[in-house]
């Protein structure tokens, strides 16, 4: 038996293990990282090697076996038993497990460790490592000196490789260790079998299992990983080469998690990360990929995603994020529509009108085929204006001179004095006034702006003198029948009354369709009624 004494401050080592490696179970992860490094070393000489790492977790022992390069006495002394070894036989690449502190991290949970190892060019070696007072003892053993509890593992690593046996202070928590290693080692590119189950998966698969959507995988500037969005708590969940970044929507949100040193030489400490030479690359890639996740999310969003996407669109000054969000309310339409639909509807007129609240002006513009958006928050308003102007269209306020002109408000019109009205026109006017008497609305007949059969002003209904419906009511065969005048004008008057009750917003589109259908029916009824009058005047009794 040969003894090797390693003198270190065990208390400071324990504190460093928790700080540098995240938690007390980190030593198990470091053993797997050691195994991976050993396989990569062997593959440099034998690239055809199909490496594997096998882990068996029991309450009284944890085994980690690999078919890597194995160790001889020189590598044991130079790297495993030295606290600051940085590489085995190659120039330094800062692989995590190859320096001593990674190995000794296991003593946070273990009371003794056996190393059974063989390289291609050296005989098998057996080492027992255990703590004693303020130092560690490493005993180089012969086969006959091995305790019985280790004998069944002697040849597991074959012609080359290593088996590490960790024995606990009390008992290992099998589920805790298994779950920890499955979480922290799942992205290794070398197969890892833990208690008979292969735990490897891609970054994207891991995020999908956690319920993330809009997953983006990437490998850029030495940073590899995947990001995904979780709508239930509005967060980006990220895995970047074993760095797990939670609650991250921007780099300033903080970085924490597990570190794989292969390509990203950082530590879990945010302070250390900031000081690292790869920090700028890391942050640059992460920022770009966070944007890519939200861009992807915006292609097929759910209502729960809207606020996060609106915030992102506002902060990034990119209104295209809103293209598929049903968040814009058009005057006269109950259901909200997307930005894409807004732009499609506005393409014909090349203008979008916006208003704080619905008004008769807004309704008139809508009826003339213009897109009118209301109920906009300040942010949404800003995004809409940018999107419309970026596309080359015009944005205008409803109550601007331009809006009033297009709404017909500035067109020549005249309220016809009652003394100028014909006897029949006065009769129709009185019938309409009786129809709205309970509304206390004024009814007038106007000339000009022939676009509408009638228009609404607060407290006023104006009938267009030359309108088609009024002319039907004034027909010589109809004017004698007040009930027919009401039948002909009721849909029109009901529509304008609905405007008066604008506090209870009505579906303008419904009224317009309703009005068109009834107008067709009215014309048919008008024709049939005239026919009856002419052929059966004597039988009507009027």
Question: Residue holding tokens 């295209």?
Answer: 320
Other Cβ atoms closer than 10 A to 300: 10
Q: pLDDT tens for residues 95-147?
A: 333 335 567 888 888 999 999 999 998 899 999 988 887 777 888 899 999 99
CA 331, 411, 498 angle in degrees (round to 5)? Answer: 35
- In sign, the C-alpha dihedral spanning 88, 91, 93, 99 is positive
Intrachain domains 2-197 and 416-538 with the same fold: no
- Confidence bin at 261 (pLDDT 50/70/90): very low
Please give the pLDDT value at position 515: 63
Please give the pLDDT value at position 219: 80
In terms of Cβ atoms closer than 10 Å to its own Cβ (0-12, 13-18, 19+), residue 301 is buried
Please give the pLDDT value at position 420: 92
Q: What is the pTM of this model?
A: 0.57
Kindly indicate whether the domain formed by 2-197 is annotated with CATH number 3.40.190.10.
no
SS (H, E, C) 125-165: EEEEEEEECCEEEEEEECHHHCCHHHHCCCCCCCCCEEEEE
- What's the rounded Cα separation, in Å, for the pair 229 and 237? 6
Strands (E) in 317-406, as ranges, are: 329-330, 351-355, 371-374, 394-397
Q: Are residues 193 and 186 in contact, defined by beta-carbon separation less than 8 angstroms?
A: no
Other Cβ atoms closer than 10 A to 175: 9
- In sign, the C-alpha dihedral spanning 336, 341, 343, 347 is negative
Q: Are residues 7 and 145 in contact, defined by beta-carbon separation less than 8 angstroms?
A: no
Q: In percent, how much of the chain has pLDDT > 70?
A: 75
Q: pLDDT tens for residues 294-311?
A: 889 889 888 888 888 888
Distances (CA, A) of 113 to 13, 103, 120, 264, 325: 17, 10, 23, 29, 58
Q: pLDDT tens for residues 145-171?
A: 999 999 999 888 788 999 999 999 889
Q: In percent, how much of the chain has pLDDT > 90?
A: 29
Q: pLDDT tens for residues 512-525?
A: 566 667 777 778 88
Above 80 in pLDDT, residue 7? no
Measured in degrees and rounded to the nearest 5, phi and psi for residue 174 equal -60, -50
Distances (CA, A) of 463 to 435, 479, 506: 14, 16, 21
Above 90 in pLDDT, residue 279? no
- What's the rounded Cα separation, in Å, for the pair 341 and 282? 38
Please give the pLDDT value at position 192: 96
Task: Specify the 3-state DSSP secondary structure of 250.
Answer: coil
Tokens representing 256 are 């924490």
Residue of 196, 206, 29, 2 whose CA lies nearest to 102: 29
- What's the rounded Cα separation, in Å, for the pair 2 and 142? 9
Burial 480-514 (b: 16+ CB within 10 A, else e): ebeebbebbbebbbebbbbbbebeebbebeebeee
The CATH number of the structural domain formed by 305-407 is 3.40.50
Give 405-466 as a DSSP string: HHHTTTS-EEEPPGGGS-HHHHHHHHHHHHHTGGGT-EEEEEEE-TT-SEEEETTEEEEETT
- What's the rounded Cα separation, in Å, for the pair 98 and 401? 76
**CATH for the 416-538 domain, from 3.90.25, 3.30.2010, 1.20.120, 3.30.190:** 3.30.2010
Please give the pLDDT value at position 64: 96
Q: pLDDT tens for residues 41-95?
A: 999 999 999 999 999 999 999 999 999 999 887 777 666 655 544 344 444 333 3
Task: Specify the 3-state DSSP secondary structure of 92.
Answer: coil
- What's the rounded Cα separation, in Å, for the pair 368 and 470? 20
- Name the residue ranges covered by the structural domains of the chain: 2-197, 203-294, 305-407, 416-538
- Confidence bin at 537 (pLDDT 50/70/90): low
| H or E segment to which residue 66 belongs | strand 62-66
Q: Are residues 282 and 273 in contact, defined by beta-carbon separation less than 8 angstroms?
A: yes
């Amino acid at each position: 038996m040969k003894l090797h004494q390693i003198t270190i401050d065990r208390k400071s080592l324990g504190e460093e293990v928790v700080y540098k490696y995240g938690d007390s179970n980190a030593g198990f992860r470091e053993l797997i990282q050691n195994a991976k490094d050993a396989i990569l070393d062997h593959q440099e000489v034998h690239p055809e090697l199909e490496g594997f790492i096998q882990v068996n977790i029991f309450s009284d022992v944890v085994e980690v076996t690999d078919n890597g390069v194995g160790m001889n006495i020189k590598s044991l002394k130079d790297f495993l038993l030295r606290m600051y070894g940085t590489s085995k036989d190659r120039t330094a690449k800062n692989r995590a497990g190859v320096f001593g502190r990674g190995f000794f991290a296991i003593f946070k949970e273990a009371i003794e460790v056996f190393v059974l190892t063989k390289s291609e060019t050296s005989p098998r070696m057996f080492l027992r490592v255990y703590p004693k007072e303020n130092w560690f003892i490493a005993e180089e053993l012969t086969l006959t000196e091995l305790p019985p509890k280790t004998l069944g593992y002697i040849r597991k690593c074959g012609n080359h490789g290593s088996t590490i046996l960790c024995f606990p202070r009390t008992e290992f928590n099998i589920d805790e260790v298994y779950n920890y290693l499955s979480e922290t080692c799942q992205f290794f590119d070398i197969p890892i079998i833990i208690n008979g189950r292969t735990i490897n998966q891609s970054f994207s698969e891991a995020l999908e299992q956690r319920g993330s959507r809009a997953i983006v995988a990437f490998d850029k500037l030495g940073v590899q990983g995947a990001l995904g969005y979780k709508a239930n708590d509005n967060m980006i969940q990220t895995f970047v080469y074993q760095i797990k970044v939670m609650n991250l929507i921007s780099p300033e949100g903080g970085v924490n998690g597990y570190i794989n040193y292969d390509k990203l030489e950082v530590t879990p400490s945010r302070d250390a990360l900031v000081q690292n030479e790869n920090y700028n690359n890391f942050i640059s890639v992460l920022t770009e990929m966070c944007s890519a996740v939200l861009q992807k999310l915006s292609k097929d969003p759910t209502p729960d995603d809207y606020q996060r996407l609106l915030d992102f669109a506002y902060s990034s000054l990119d209104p295209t994020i809103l293209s598929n969000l049903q968040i814009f309310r058009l005057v006269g339409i109950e259901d909200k529509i997307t930005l894409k639909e807004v732009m499609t509807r506005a393409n014909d007129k090349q203008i979008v009108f916006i208003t704080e609240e619905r008004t008769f002006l807004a309704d008139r513009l809508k009826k003339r085929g213009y897109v009118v958006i209301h109920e906009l928050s300040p942010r949404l308003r800003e995004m809409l204006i940018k999107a419309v102007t970026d596309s080359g269209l015009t944005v205008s306020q409803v109550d601007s001179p331009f809006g009033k002109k297009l709404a017909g408000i500035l067109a020549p019109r005249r309220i016809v004095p009652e003394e100028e009205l014909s006897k029949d026109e006065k009769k129709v006017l009185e019938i309409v006034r009786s129809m709205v008497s309970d509304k206390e609305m004024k009814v007038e007949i106007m000339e000009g702006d022939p676009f509408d059969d009638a228009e609404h002003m607060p407290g006023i209904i104006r009938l267009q003198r030359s309108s088609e419906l009024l002319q039907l009511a004034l027909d010589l065969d109809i004017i004698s029948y007040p009930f027919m005048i009401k039948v002909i004008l009721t849909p029109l008057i009901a529509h304008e009354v609905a405007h008066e009750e604008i506090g209870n917003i009505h579906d303008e589109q419904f009224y317009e369709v309703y009005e068109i259908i009834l107008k067709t029916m009215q014309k048919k009824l008008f024709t049939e009624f005239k026919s009856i009058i002419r052929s059966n005047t004597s039988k009507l009794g009027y």
